[in-house]
Amino acid sequence: MSSPTGPAANGTFLGMPAVPPRSPYGTGHLRGERTFPRAAHDELDNEQLRRNLGKATHSIRAKRLAVTGELPDWEQLRDAGSAIKTDTMNRLPELLEQLERKVTERGGTVHWARDGVEANEIVTRLVRDTGSDEILKVKSMATQEIGLNEHLESQGIAALETDLAELIVQLADDRPSHILVPAIHRNRDEIREIFLRHIPGVDPALDADPARLAAAARTFLREKFMTTKVAVSGANFGIAETGTLAVVESEGNGRMCLTLPQTLITVMGIEKVLPRFEDLEVFLQLLPRSSTGERMNPYTSLWTGVTPGDGPQEFHLVLLDNGRTAALADRIGRAALNCIRCSACLNVCPVYERTGGHAYGSTYPGPIGAVLTPQLAGMHGAKDDPNSSLPYASSLCGACFDACPVKIDIPSLLVELRHQHTEQSGTTAEKLAMKAAATVMKRPGLFTTAQKAAGLGRVLAGRDGTLSRLPPPLNGWSDSRDTPAPPRQSFRSWFASAEGAAAMRAAAAEGARNTDDAPQEDS
Amino acid sequence: MRIALFATCLGDTLFPEAVKSTAVLLARLGHDVVFPPQQTCCGQMHVNTGYQREPVPLVRNFAEQFGDPSIEAVVVPSGSCAGSVRHQHQDVAERYGDAALRAGVATVRAKTYELSEFLVDVLGVTDVGAYFPHRVTYHPTCHSLRMLRVGEKPLRLLRAVEGIDLVELPEADVCCGFGGTFAVKNAETSAAMLRDKMGHITGTGAEVCTAGDSSCLMHIAGGLSRIRAGTRTLHLAQILASTRTVPHVLTEAAR
Ligand code: SF4
């Protein structure tokens, strides 16, 4: 364990300049217990999961392409979204202070939380002050990230998720596996089972018809909406100019929570701020089209402070850092904070499609999770930190970059994080191999010699000219792929040979003949 | 036109037939093809695996070998290596290079093309006079598709091939699962992606699956060979270089 012990800590301060203090990394559910390849191994075995995921991502992909394709200015919208977010990150402190001022002016209270521990404590205290021991939850990534439900439970406060999919996951004592569709890994029959087992008083004859399942959940939730006094939400956007908070959703359960209770507590990651009210115009087009493939989401709730006699009479905004300042401080990594959590990148990712959200270990799965998680929580929390395997959980195919409504160049960020990881991880066998390869390849003479040596691989090949088993670390590759034995002659030696020269002359002569027959415009 | 061929380390060593076809094809089109003999590797494997410092000498060597002003274009029979030269060399040079390297990289990158781009955009040819009487399906590799945006260019070239029966590949734009060291570091996930890709390929009934990248084809061919599927893989250049006079003969052994 290499905990940073500064000069002051070990008492040998000799006037050396200290390492500049860096922003703390995030806490909570940002780190899994297993590395990606290990966790993926188990998930790949789960046939049902792969079928559910494949079906869900395929249908949502097609819907997204249809509704983004119909907008003539989709590319300009993406550019606008990207520009607004980049501007926001460049002056985040100023915008957050403005947001605080506006929320306070409108009768809300703003709290600042450096990490998940602080945020959880603040929310717990606020709930206690109301005298209530149960709360309703609006689906929120920020509270997932800090493990708020678990913390509240440990403090004797019951938190109930009201988003249908979140509720399914909560009832099953499971973890969400998708940003937007947390129960994407479950099918209807499984959901029916979960409801029968966990919803008090549910009709035992309940079948797996989606409408009936939804109705069963609605009956259960309605009762709760009418009686619970405190709700906790996240926020999709917070407008600095006006102090307005925004939540977009499909079911309307969120709106129930945002309007019925007496007290509303919103936990918002500091990167969710937007400068102006009119910026919503851009994001309310980008978000639903990218996430659910709808032209507009069914419910958009906006609220500004408190309004006497209407809606919650007490409003608290908890601004959560939890590693975001650390990400912001990284010139290149900062781009990941532009994410609006639409999940389009998950839905197009061939790795996510096969391994599911749990393989990533973090609250944030998929391509953006592989970038955001190591940035928020770091890659050196433990030896063989699971987070350090995340930037490698991608074939760099680039489908995520194409899909992202705010044009986050996820592949380049992944490569950058890989670079940061190898720079920090000291001397490894891989690094030595990479150095050796570079040494050979920078010297053409050595490279040619190595090519000849590679040709010896023919000796090891089977009769079909392929190698079917390779030594570690290549054995994973050779478990399902044959490798061709190197050919007798490299291209360069063919090109330099009399045979190569003759072939090139013949081709040139043929070209000259063709040119005589039918002159080409290019010659 | 004086064209320098960048064979790529993989093409030079393991898939020389694809590079030979490229050379022959360009010569047949009336161009002067040269092979700067000191060339080695673009360094993509290093960069993608997370090493930006180590490939500096490779990037420098590339810029030196192909920087010669008499070279009008550098043609690469690989979408991902062309992508690396166009998009990654600059990053490496910015981070660890000197002014000379940055300038060198910028010069070379502006004249480097993947084969199909070069044929269609620079030479303005889509019919290269090829003859290939087989059922073929085309897999657009990720870097050709998304880093270089070659789009329909390879398909336009293939459609003009005499005798070809070109069949569409379902879910063509989904990654085959190669991703360089990804296939080693996340071998099982990569294999799951490969299985689906192979299913789509064999489902077309094609004799040949072609692409513009030997690396992805190595992955796909390795899988097809393991399951003893009858389908072969051939680099796009090999199909384009096949003519009535010198036809490519589809045999199991020819590679
Ligand atoms: S990275 Fe882009 S595509 Fe992925 S969730 Fe965030 S905004 Fe959506």
User: How confident is residue A516, by pLDDT bands cut at 50, 70 and 90?
Assistant: low
Which region among A26-35, A344-353, A511-520 has the lowest average model confidence (pLDDT)? Answer: A511-520
Return the closest-CA partner of residue B143 out of A75, A412, A355, A405: A412
Contact A487 B30 (CB under 8 A): no
Return the closest-CA partner of residue A343 out of A164, A162, A177, A173: A177
Question: Chain A closest CA to B135's CA: distance in Å?
Answer: 23
pLDDT at A9 over 50: no
For A413, A519, B36, B253, the CA distances from B123, given in Å and listed in that order, are 35, 13, 22, 33
8 Å CB contact between A323 and A122: no
8 Å CB contact between A262 and A311: no
- Rounded to whole angstroms, how far apart are CA atoms A164 and A247? 16
- Looking at residue A11, its pLDDT comes to 46
- Looking at residue B253, its pLDDT comes to 40
- Rounded to whole angstroms, how far apart are CA atoms A91 and A275? 10
Q: Does B193 touch chain A (CB under 8 A)?
A: yes
8 Å CB contact between A52 and A186: yes
User: How confident is residue A16, by pLDDT bands cut at 50, 70 and 90?
Assistant: low
Q: Distance, CA A336 to ligand 1 centroid (Å)?
A: 9
Q: How confident is the model over B179-238, as pLDDT tens digits? A: 999 999 999 999 999 999 999 999 999 999 999 999 999 999 999 999 999 999 999 999
- Which residues from B are below 8 Å from A392, CB to CB? 50, 181-182, 185-186
Return the closest-CA partner of residue B7 out of A499, A437, A493: A493
* Residue A301 amino acid letter: S
- Looking at residue B255, its pLDDT comes to 37
Q: How confident is the model over A269-289, as pLDDT tens digits? A: 999 999 999 999 999 999 999
8 Å CB contact between B112 and B74: yes
Ligand 1 near A335 CB (within 6 A): no
Contact A495 B23 (CB under 8 A): yes
Of residues B30, B58, B147, nearest to A398 (C-beta): B147
- Which residues from A are below 8 Å from B197, CB to CB? none
Q: Distance, CA A306 to ligand 1 centroid (Å)?
A: 31
- Looking at residue A118, its pLDDT comes to 97
User: Cis ω on the peptide bond leading into residue B154 (within 30° of 0)?
Assistant: no
Beta-carbon-side half-sphere exposure of residue B47 (alpha carbons within 13 Å): 27
8 Å CB contact between B210 and B184: no
User: How confident is residue B68, by pLDDT bands cut at 50, 70 and 90?
Assistant: very high
- Looking at residue A20, its pLDDT comes to 56
Q: What is the mean pLDDT of residues B70-92?
A: 97
8 Å CB contact between A294 and A60: no
Q: What is the mean pLDDT of residues A387-412?
A: 97
User: How confident is residue A1, by pLDDT bands cut at 50, 70 and 90?
Assistant: very low
User: How confident is residue B251, by pLDDT bands cut at 50, 70 and 90?
Assistant: low
Ligand 1 near A339 CB (within 6 A): yes
Buried b (16+ CB within 10 A) or exposed e, A453-467: eebebeeebeeebbb
- Rounded to whole angstroms, how far apart are CA atoms A42 and A47? 10
Ligand 1 near A343 CB (within 6 A): yes
Which region among A48-57, A260-269, B93-102 has the lowest average model confidence (pLDDT)? Answer: A48-57
Ligand 1 near A342 CB (within 6 A): yes
ipTM metric? 0.95
Q: What is the chain A residue with the closest CA to B191?
A: A480
Q: Does A433 touch chain B (CB under 8 A)?
A: no
8 Å CB contact between B88 and B47: yes
Return the closest-CA partner of residue B49 out of A415, A399, A380: A415
Q: How confident is the model over A452-467, as pLDDT tens digits? A: 887 777 777 777 778 8
pLDDT at A493 over 60: yes
Of residues B27, B53, B223, nearest to A508 (C-beta): B27
Q: What is the mean pLDDT of residues A86-110?
A: 98
Buried b (16+ CB within 10 A) or exposed e, A362-376: bbbbbbbbbbbbbbb
Give the phi and the psi of residue A424 in degrees, each rounded to 5.
-95, -15
Q: Distance, CA A179 to ligand 1 centroid (Å)?
A: 10
Contact B41 A441 (CB under 8 A): yes
Q: Distance, CA A339 to ligand 1 centroid (Å)?
A: 5
User: How confident is residue B34, by pLDDT bands cut at 50, 70 and 90?
Assistant: very high
Higher pLDDT, A464 or A444: A444
Q: What is the mean pLDDT of residues A240-251?
A: 96
Long-range contacts of A356-359 (CB under 8 A, 24+ apart): A356/A43, A356/A46, A356/A49, A356/A50, A356/A53, A356/A177, A356/A184, A356/A185, A357/A176, A357/A177, A357/A178, A357/A184, A357/A185, A358/A39, A358/A43, A358/A175, A358/A177, A358/A185, A359/A36, A359/A39, A359/A40, A359/A43, A359/A393
- Looking at residue A470, its pLDDT comes to 87
pLDDT above 70: percentage of residues in chain A: 94
- Looking at residue A186, its pLDDT comes to 86
User: How confident is residue B107, by pLDDT bands cut at 50, 70 and 90?
Assistant: very high
Q: What is the mean pLDDT of residues B132-153?
A: 97
Ligand 1 near A371 CB (within 6 A): no
- Which residues from A are below 8 Å from B6, CB to CB? none
- Looking at residue A14, its pLDDT comes to 56
- A 471-490: CB under 8 A from B: 473-474, 476-477, 479-484, 486-487, 489-490
The token duo for A203 is: 């009709």
